[in-house]
Structure 1
Amino acid sequence: MFGLDAFHLARIQFAFTVSFHIIFPAITIGLASYLAVLEGLWLKTRQPVWRSLYHFWSKIFAVNFGMGVVSGLVMAYQFGTNWSGFSQFAGSITGPLLTYEVLTAFFLEAGFLGVMLFGWNKVGPGLHFFATCMVALGTLISTFWILASNSWMQTPQGFEIVNGQVVPVDWFAVVFNPSFPYRLLHMTVAAFLSSALFVGASAAWHLLRGNNTPAIRTMFSMALWMTLIVAPIQAMIGDMHGLNTLKHQPSKIAAIEGHWENPPGEPTPLLLFGWPDMEQERTRYGLEIPALGSLILTHSLDKQVPALKEFAKEDRPNSTIVFWSFRIMAGLGMLMLLLGVAALWLRKKQRLYVSRPFLWFALLMGPSGLIAILAGWVTTEVGRQPWVVYGLQRTADAVSAHGDLHMSISLLAFFVVYSSVFGVGYSYMVRLIRKGPQDFTPPTDGTPARPLSAAITPTHSQEQH
């Protein structure tokens, strides 16, 4: 297919399925905690607005949760089908870590999800709130184990190699490897930020259409407060993560910076834009700021950042890709900061809910968190190349022995099935969002609602809005 061999097709297939999958857990993680906050506020104040928002977002959470589980299972099977070399080499570590996720996180979520979705009038309010909190906790525990596994592949430790296979000798060192704390915080905060932008964009859409109800204003306000608080925190975590990457994966940082060589005694500049050319070993059309690269990455004005020419050609990541994926992520992060600050200024002017330019800005920023997450994962995974386990196993040695035709057909099948199935899921979720929060009317027949049922029909008074 397109002149690509089975190895590159396998990489594209895994990247395709991961990109589809990561969107759903990111929203699920943030919405689960958001639902816990909403129900807690309802229990404390008994104000109907919190209950309306809870039931509105619980339906969207259910859609995301279902699609996340399905896409995640398919992705996990690829370790055995397409990457058997990796499974044989490192399965003794990644296998147990993924099993721990199922035993601790998935069972916890599955055990309380039914109570959360169907138990509003079946159990007491305290027990229902506990169920919501357990589902939220389950999403965070799942994040813990998934990031532990992936972080070990980035910065492996706590193992020995026996007969060509990795054998764990210190599980504490395996889990809490050098990059794990930073990557766990970075992904978790990214999920919260993405969910806040998603919620804010949904509210902005309704406000632009004149649906200026208390519930819409409340979720818009909460989303923007979250953005204002979390975006700067994410920037600080990103800085710490960058310093950690510089220490343990210097070639990745060199590729991100598009930095090829260090003239003696000169600090490293920061390349704002340019086009890294892997063949010519230079960054064309570069726009740089002198010494700023050293200041950001080493927190000094005299230390140099490692350059790509310091590494063998076969050990260099593709700088063209990670240079731009990182800048997409960082650029969107700056826009998120701007959104939060602009919201604060409009609050003081009492124009937060009526400024149409700002509402359009918030609406357009809705997918920015998810795009930034995808760009961040591209930076992380492509920047690790050519290693699948950094410094231990090359990606080319991890792939299964499939033919080009087999991989082409399976990739095409994934594209068709994912686009159709998850396209329907996206469309259904948009329908739910367009309905907006409704006054909650408890069912009278004792029959629980279907998991993915549409929003309740608006009352006459709501239709007048």
Structure 2
Amino acid sequence: METSTLSAFDLARIQFAFTISFHIVFPALSIGLASFIAVLEWRWLKTGKAYYKELCLFWSKIFAVAFGMGVVSGVVMSYEFGTNWAGFSKFAGPITGALLTYEVMTAFFLEAGFLGIMLFGWQRVGPRAHFAATLTVAVGTLVSAFWILASNSWMQTPQGFAIVDGHAVPVDWFKVIFNPSFPYRLVHMTLAAFVVAALVVSATGAWHLLKGRRDPGVKKMFVMALGLLLVLAPVQALVGDQHGLNTLKYQPAKVAAMEGLWDTEAGGTSLKLFGLPDMQAETTRYAVAIPHLGSLILTHSWDGEIRGLKSFPRDERPNSTVVFWSFRVMVGLGVLMIVLAALAGILHRRGRLYEAKWFHRFALVMGPSGFVTLLAGWVTTEVGRQPWVVYGVMRTAQAVSPLSSQQVGISLMAFVVVYFLVFGTGVYYMLKILRAGPNVSHDEHGDADETLESEPLPGTARPRVTAALNV
């Protein structure tokens, strides 16, 4: 007898949304930090300044913890494909399973083969060999993102396959991998990972500046992170614009849901800044709109026409209430990131970057915004794809396993308890490291003793970024 008001399908979707939300933030941080650490080590080799090595050692600790938590959360999601989403695994396994295998055969061997050297090899191999290991790990994280985004993008814009005996069978691997949305989504996600790391690094620097530290390591990581953000935040906005054009072409219902657009507006589409989309009444209540701005942004023309949700069957409409606001959270925080970076540039030119406490507080508050924006972007992408798990080919309802609501509900409760205990502890430990900060360098010009010893780092393993299915 069913005791839950939610079906097994609903609970399975909630469970996957919960686990993937915990998972995606750790690989994103790992991807960004791996490249940041590689740059720091390169600067240390080039300049010989001690604080670069201090920063390498410090951020390697954060990287190691994030890496380990990415492993645990990724493994859980791998099992979920078989337990909760057997229909999807049976149908799309010949494609998504192969893509995840390619990730293991490439990224796994790069990361697993050199991670130990990166974390524990400072006193065991030469400086150049150690840098090569660090660089290899950084490349490995990017390769992993490549295959995972290829798999997820195929689910968004599937091509290069045929359906044989109820299975999606690849007929052209090039088309499968380089599907229409893949280039935009790969660049968008990779830049997002770098932005996430830059915001965490800048917030850490801001914290220590507010506490009165002015040693070279703190100042250097602060200015490097903000410099990266000054470049990437506007670029990310441009990439997002191109991604939006691609989405309008291949997933017009998602764009209509993002804009809370119900009726097709001939002669030019307005942009709703705010509003409350009502799925039942088929309207967006209390809308504040600017005429023609939607056309300018979404089609780059004054009178571009965008299909409203009413032009799609009711059972093929994404939940506009969710997507409308998740998209605005993402865009709004993105604008604040650009403001943060622009202010940093102005203060740096005026020589006030390290003394403007109001700005340090702003940077500190913005520290978590990268994670929030990342999650909001994934909510927009994945909820906007509904009711399809493979867009236009397989519905999400067809992908679920034949389980009872009690079975899924019990496992969901167990996940909630365990995740908050395990990952709460991990996040607490990371925050403790961040509060302690890097070791103090005694000489801003790099003449300090270079025989720095790293503290023992937590044991780590490779994170599986198995965010290929969000249901």
Output the TM-score relative to the length of structure 2.
0.94
User: For residue 33 of structure 2, what is the aligned residue in structure 1?
Assistant: 31
User: For residue 348 of structure 2, what is the aligned residue in structure 1?
Assistant: 347
Bigger Cα displacement from structure 2, 36-45 vs 434-443: 434-443
Asked whether the equivalents of residues 50 and 450 of structure 2 are also in contact (C-alpha less than 8 Å), the reply is no
Q: Deviation per CA, 1:65-106, whole angstroms, max 9, x where unpaired?
A: 111111111111111110000001110000010011111002
User: For residue 142 of structure 1, what is the aligned residue in structure 2?
Assistant: 144
Report the Cα distance in structure 1 between the residues aligned to 2:377 and 2:122, rounded to whole angstroms: 38
Of 432, 454, 457, 1:451 maps to 457
Report the Cα distance in structure 1 between the residues aligned to 2:373 and 2:190, rounded to whole angstroms: 13
4+ residue segments displaced more than 3 Å: 439-444
Q: Structure 2: which amino acid aligns with 1:123?
A: V
Matched, 1:103 2:105: yes
* Secondary structure of the corresponding residue to residue 264 of structure 2: coil
Report the Cα distance in structure 1 between the residues aligned to 2:18 and 2:108, rounded to whole angstroms: 23
1:19 to partner: Cα distance: 0.3
Report the Cα distance in structure 2 between the residues aligned to 1:343 and 1:451, rounded to whole angstroms: 33
User: For residue 268 of structure 2, what is the aligned residue in structure 1?
Assistant: 267
User: For residue 459 of structure 1, what is the aligned residue in structure 2?
Assistant: none
* Secondary structure of the corresponding residue to residue 384 of structure 1: coil
Asked whether the equivalents of residues 118 and 449 of structure 1 are also in contact (C-alpha less than 8 Å), the reply is no
Asked whether the equivalents of residues 121 and 442 of structure 1 are also in contact (C-alpha less than 8 Å), the reply is no
Number of equivalent positions: 449
Q: Deviation per CA, 1:162-199, whole angstroms, max 9, x where unpaired?
A: 11211100001000000000000000000001100000
Of 191, 194, 197, 1:189 maps to 191
User: For residue 322 of structure 1, what is the aligned residue in structure 2?
Assistant: 323
Output the TM-score relative to the length of structure 1.
0.95
Matched, 1:431 2:432: yes
User: For residue 396 of structure 1, what is the aligned residue in structure 2?
Assistant: 397
- For residues 179-218 of structure 1, what are the structure 2 equivalents within 5 Å? 179-218=181-220
Asked whether the equivalents of residues 199 and 220 of structure 1 are also in contact (C-alpha less than 8 Å), the reply is yes
What is the alpha-carbon root mean square deviation over aligned residues? 1.3
User: For residue 46 of structure 1, what is the aligned residue in structure 2?
Assistant: 48
* Secondary structure of the corresponding residue to residue 14 of structure 1: helix
Distance change (3 Å), C-alpha of 1:229 and 1:383 = same
- Calculate percent identity across the aligned residue pairs: 62
Q: Structure 2: which amino acid aligns with 1:144?
A: F
Report the Cα distance in structure 2 between the residues aligned to 1:31 and 1:443, rounded to whole angstroms: 21
1:442 to partner: Cα distance: 4.7
1:28 to partner: Cα distance: 0.2
Of 87, 93, 100, 1:85 maps to 87
User: For residue 221 of structure 1, what is the aligned residue in structure 2?
Assistant: 223
Bigger Cα displacement from structure 2, 329-338 vs 67-76: 67-76
Report the Cα distance in structure 2 between the residues aligned to 1:414 and 1:81, rounded to whole angstroms: 14
1:356 to partner: Cα distance: 1.1
Report the Cα distance in structure 2 between the residues aligned to 1:323 and 1:197, rounded to whole angstroms: 25
Q: Deviation per CA, 1:346-398, whole angstroms, max 9, x where unpaired?
A: 11221111111110000000010110000000000000000000000000000
Asked whether the equivalents of residues 207 and 353 of structure 1 are also in contact (C-alpha less than 8 Å), the reply is yes
User: For residue 338 of structure 1, what is the aligned residue in structure 2?
Assistant: 339
1:2 to partner: Cα distance: 6.3
Q: Deviation per CA, 1:186-238, whole angstroms, max 9, x where unpaired?
A: 00000001100000001101111112211101100001101110000000000
Asked whether the equivalents of residues 203 and 217 of structure 1 are also in contact (C-alpha less than 8 Å), the reply is yes
Asked whether the equivalents of residues 4 and 405 of structure 2 are also in contact (C-alpha less than 8 Å), the reply is no
Q: Deviation per CA, 1:102-157, whole angstroms, max 9, x where unpaired?
A: 11002210110000011111001111000000000000000000000000000000
Report the Cα distance in structure 1 between the residues aligned to 2:413 and 2:76, rounded to whole angstroms: 15
Bigger Cα displacement from structure 2, 15-24 vs 430-439: 430-439
Report the Cα distance in structure 2 between the residues aligned to 1:202 and 1:386, rounded to whole angstroms: 40
- For residues 231-380 of structure 1, what are the structure 2 equivalents within 5 Å? 231-263=233-265, 265-380=266-381
Q: Structure 2: which amino acid aligns with 1:81?
A: T
1:287 to partner: Cα distance: 0.3
Q: Structure 2: which amino acid aligns with 1:164?
A: G
1:443 to partner: Cα distance: 7.5
Asked whether the equivalents of residues 262 and 309 of structure 2 are also in contact (C-alpha less than 8 Å), the reply is yes
Report the Cα distance in structure 2 between the residues aligned to 1:98 and 1:81, rounded to whole angstroms: 17
Q: Which runs of 5+ in 1 are unaligned?
A: 454-465
Report the Cα distance in structure 1 between the residues aligned to 2:403 and 2:304, rounded to whole angstroms: 46
Q: Deviation per CA, 1:406-428, whole angstroms, max 9, x where unpaired?
A: 11100000000000001110011
Distance change (3 Å), C-alpha of 1:304 and 1:443 = closer
Report the Cα distance in structure 1 between the residues aligned to 2:73 and 2:303, rounded to whole angstroms: 47
Bigger Cα displacement from structure 2, 209-218 vs 174-183: 209-218
Report the Cα distance in structure 1 between the residues aligned to 2:267 and 2:171, rounded to whole angstroms: 43
Asked whether the equivalents of residues 113 and 131 of structure 1 are also in contact (C-alpha less than 8 Å), the reply is yes
Report the Cα distance in structure 1 between the residues aligned to 2:290 and 2:139, rounded to whole angstroms: 44
* Secondary structure of the corresponding residue to residue 238 of structure 2: helix
1:434 to partner: Cα distance: 1.2
* Secondary structure of the corresponding residue to residue 402 of structure 1: coil
Asked whether the equivalents of residues 52 and 438 of structure 1 are also in contact (C-alpha less than 8 Å), the reply is yes
